[in-house]
Structure 1
Amino acid sequence: MRALLVALVGLALLAVCVPPARAQGGAVLVIHLDSEITSATVQYVEAAINAAESDGSPALVVRFDTPGGGLAETQEIQRLFLASRVPILGWVGPSGANSWSAGTFLLESTDYAAMAPYTVIGSAQPVELTPTGFQPVTDAKIINALVASLTETLSIHQRNQSLASSFIVNNVNLNADQALADTAIEGVASSTSELLQKADGFTLPANLTRASPAKPARLNLAGATLADFNRPAGVALYAVLSNPIVSGLLLLLGIYAIIFGLSAPGHGAEIAGIIMVILGVLGFGLSVNVVGIALLVLGIILLILEVKTHSFAVFGTSGIICIILGTIFLAPVGPPQFLISRDTQLVILAALLTPSTAFGVFLLFAVYKVLEVRRRKPVTGKLVGEDAEAVDPIPPNGRGYVRFQGELWQATASEAIEKGERVTIAAKEGVVLTVEKKAVPPSPMTPPVEGSQAT
């Protein structure tokens, strides 16, 4: 049992430390910002940029169809765009898509911005949640700061700086043709393929090359192929758990579970509560790696406690769950080490999770067999006269425990019995056995030799 636990822990650590093989690539990666911009979006964009840089991609296409999102997350993505060594191409599409509010900030932060026909950008005035619902932010300090920030972004890319005030103060909206005429974008493209054709040969503005000297001065996209970036499994799980509703519920339920567990016997509720609280803090922007390591460490501690305390798999099962979640967060299937298909990612994850899953199934089966034995009614009529073994010293007229056919019974005796001594069951009263020392059989006497005389 202990050897199996050591092997499981070793496999979990190996899963997050082994250096994987590199995949071949070089295509223009495409990512999709098609929901609210959250901390999970930051993780997604950062993973894609790392993959593009590691694989030598000539560019990264960001496809926008978003209602906006958090200001802090938006600014962090803007910094990622500017620091990227790979040119960032922004495209609002397909037709019917929109990139409002924070989406407009991000589109204007890309190195080459384009829109599909019949798409819209704008309405960038920030809003805040009040007791009466969402209300526009009118504080001059905040508005002026955002206008100045967007103005500088437009200046870096040598676009129309007057649009900053129009987007934020007046909530102006522009379609593709209007955005192109007002120098908010560089082109109109119906598809990502057309986007590459129009962006090929584009010379980055001088302001941009000064602000981000690591970028190439000219886009070279002739003959480039497109490939969707596969969101790593850990980032995908993080996107679900970092949702404010999900993380809030996990935190509340985790706190209640801990309170219930501490006020009631057993270990299940408080352990489940701790796991839920760890997962719930993802909603506050905590790093995926930090949470993954915390889950692995908690899982190892719980498995050690299972060996030491025999909690009928409460610790063990919880430990397995923690290790599985930690493995998903930290599994080496994401960039920059990997640039592989979703199917291949799932195969690797399945291989890494198989040992933990198999051990969990074994643990549950073992607990089932133990409970099955405990539910079995003993045949009391066969107890009397049977042999048992003392597992505790039993003082005269005191009590201790004996083992009979693998089960522990409370026992009493009229004489002192040492630990490990064989005893005989003399009687049973309720759940207490009366035992006595096992009689030692007499030594066989040697028969006299025929013809001999007694002296």
Structure 2
Amino acid sequence: MFNRKFCYTVLLIFSPLVFLLSLTPFTSAKNPHVNVAKIDSIINPVVVEFIAESIERSSKDGAECLIIQLDTPGGLDLSMRKIVKNMLNADIPIIVYVSPGGARAASAGVMITMASNIAAMSPGTNIGAAHPVTMGGQKIDKEMEKKVVNDAVAYIKSIAEERGRNAKWAEETVRKSVSVTEKEALNLKVIDLIAPDIKTLLLEINGKKVKTAKGTFTLNTKDAEPVFINMGIRHNILNILSNPNIAYVLMMIGFLGLYFELAHPGVIFPGVIGAISLILAFFAFQTLPINYAGILLIVLAIILFIVEVKVTSFGLLTIGGIVSMLLGSLMLFESPVPYLRVSWAVLIPVVLGTSALFILSATLAFRAYLSKPTTGMEGLVGEIGTAKTEILQEGKVFIHGEYWNAYSDEAIPEGEKVRVLKVDSLWMKVERLA
């Protein structure tokens, strides 16, 4: 009875409090907030998804604006265009802040900065060098290059004019790859302001009117609290996989795993690791400019290594495999920009290590082929035993813990050491050990 009365009393006391808490929002209207999404990698499909989710979240949680803190060397053209499209059609103000000191907005980063409602840079940063590059290593003629450049110029000029920025400079950064510091960018009206940190940035943009897809919006950021939106585990993993070096290493691990599983059926572990690695590698290839001729050359190299183990070619197949793997690795991510290529520091050790493994396998297989048998009847040839009886035309010998019928071309006294010359069914031909 006491317990029941006590529970009723607790419920009566706390029920009004729970009701009041349910009516009270966690974010007070008197304390506005802004969301900050940090991008410090190349522009790829993972970044597209992250920015799209950040825009959607900011629209729903009542943020005053979304600040994209940017530091990028550039990235994929298609990914950049998707981000710009999302920014131009966003319901909330979007501020691009090139930060911290030492950061840059290069290539695709220029387009993204231009597409913001307000563009800001931190001291010690730069922006520019937006000349388009071809991905996949293919070379284009002058006429096609002209078309690509003109398309990029028209695109960046339309963005600059839409946001009221310097369209002439925008054209130059595409045609001539010009790049400027934050002070030069401000003087050229490429950006709107310079701010050393986010707190100063929020004070500077407070009260500014910006045009969004929903109409004109006045920023109230004086006392706004910055809320940082971080990439989740999924985004971080996908972003890591999109690194050409990681994708390349995963592919090589995958091929090696499948090879060892085929060479030693039933081990299972190498096959599982190899299959998982290949799946992850080919997922990453969807986000990177791939030259499939490079993949075919690497596959050819693996085939040549496997054949070398089975067929003795005195190293010719191994040499062909090494050359094929090196060429395939160089061609795989052949691109004018370094962040979309495999690093030499990764490529050389992987090629040498993989080649060394297959050379070792081929060497062991060749030695096994040349060595005499160690099991069965043939394995007894050359072994040493003891004559247990006198051997004239026939007798008994003891070898490897067994008695055998033996014969010899010479008389051998009992107790003498003998060497096996031949094994024929249950008979051994032996000779006296000199």
TM-score, length basis structure 2: 0.54
Does the CA-based 8 Å contact 1:123-1:171 persist in structure 2? Answer: yes
Does the CA-based 8 Å contact 1:242-1:283 persist in structure 2? Answer: yes
1:240 maps to a residue whose letter is: I
Question: Quick one: distance in 2 between partners of 1:82 and 1:137?
Answer: 31
1:340-359 superposed matches below 5 A? none
In the other structure, the counterpart of 1:433 is none
Does the CA-based 8 Å contact 1:27-1:57 persist in structure 2? Answer: yes
1:123-162 superposed matches below 5 A? 123-128=129-134, 139-162=145-168
**Aligned-pair CA distance for 1:40:** 2.4
Over 3 Å counting, the alpha-carbon distance change for 1:137 and 1:39 in structure 2 is farther
Question: Quick one: distance in 2 between partners of 1:259 and 1:151?
Answer: 52
Question: Quick one: distance in 2 between partners of 1:252 and 1:268?
Answer: 16
Question: Quick one: distance in 1 between partners of 2:200 and 2:45?
Answer: 31
Question: Quick one: distance in 1 between partners of 2:169 and 2:198?
Answer: 25
Deviations, residues 386-438 of structure 1 (Å, cap 9, x unaligned): xxxxxxxxxxxxxxxxxxxxxxxxxxxxxxxxxxxxxxxxxxxxxxxxxxxxx
Most deviating of 229-238 and 147-156: 229-238
Does the CA-based 8 Å contact 1:238-1:282 persist in structure 2? Answer: no
Determine which of 74, 79, 84 is the counterpart of 2:85. Answer: 79
2:167 maps to a residue whose letter is: Q
Over 3 Å counting, the alpha-carbon distance change for 1:137 and 1:192 in structure 2 is farther
1:279 maps to a residue whose letter is: L
In the other structure, the counterpart of 1:271 is 272
- Larger-gyration structure (1/2): 2
In the other structure, the counterpart of 1:239 is 239
Aligned residues: 257
In the other structure, the counterpart of 2:217 is 217
Question: Quick one: distance in 1 between partners of 2:125 and 2:144?
Answer: 27
**Aligned-pair CA distance for 1:232:** 0.8
TM-score, length basis structure 1: 0.52
Determine which of 185, 191, 201 is the counterpart of 2:191. Answer: 185
**Aligned-pair CA distance for 1:141:** 0.7
User: Does 2:260 match 1:254?
Assistant: no
Over 3 Å counting, the alpha-carbon distance change for 1:95 and 1:256 in structure 2 is closer
Question: Quick one: distance in 1 between partners of 2:191 and 2:102?
Answer: 17
**Aligned-pair CA distance for 1:130:** 8.2
**Aligned-pair CA distance for 1:137:** 11
Deviations, residues 225-269 of structure 1 (Å, cap 9, x unaligned): 112212211111111122122123223322342344244321333
What secondary structure does 2:210 align onto? coil
Deviations, residues 265-285 of structure 1 (Å, cap 9, x unaligned): 213332222222222233134
2:229 maps to a residue whose letter is: F
1:236 maps to a residue whose letter is: N
Does the CA-based 8 Å contact 2:93-2:210 persist in structure 1? Answer: no
User: Does 2:95 match 1:94?
Assistant: no
**Aligned-pair CA distance for 1:224:** 0.9
Percentage identity across paired residues of the two chains: 28
In the other structure, the counterpart of 1:11 is none
Does the CA-based 8 Å contact 1:86-1:215 persist in structure 2? Answer: no
Deviations, residues 293-316 of structure 1 (Å, cap 9, x unaligned): xxxxxxxxxxxxxxxxxxxxxxxx
Larger RCO: Structure 1 or Structure 2 (Cα < 8 Å, ≥ 6 residues apart)? 1
Which structure 1 residue ranges, 5 or more long, are not aligned? 1-22, 287-455
Most deviating of 94-103 and 56-65: 94-103
What secondary structure does 1:217 align onto? strand
**Aligned-pair CA distance for 1:112:** 0.6
In the other structure, the counterpart of 1:281 is 282
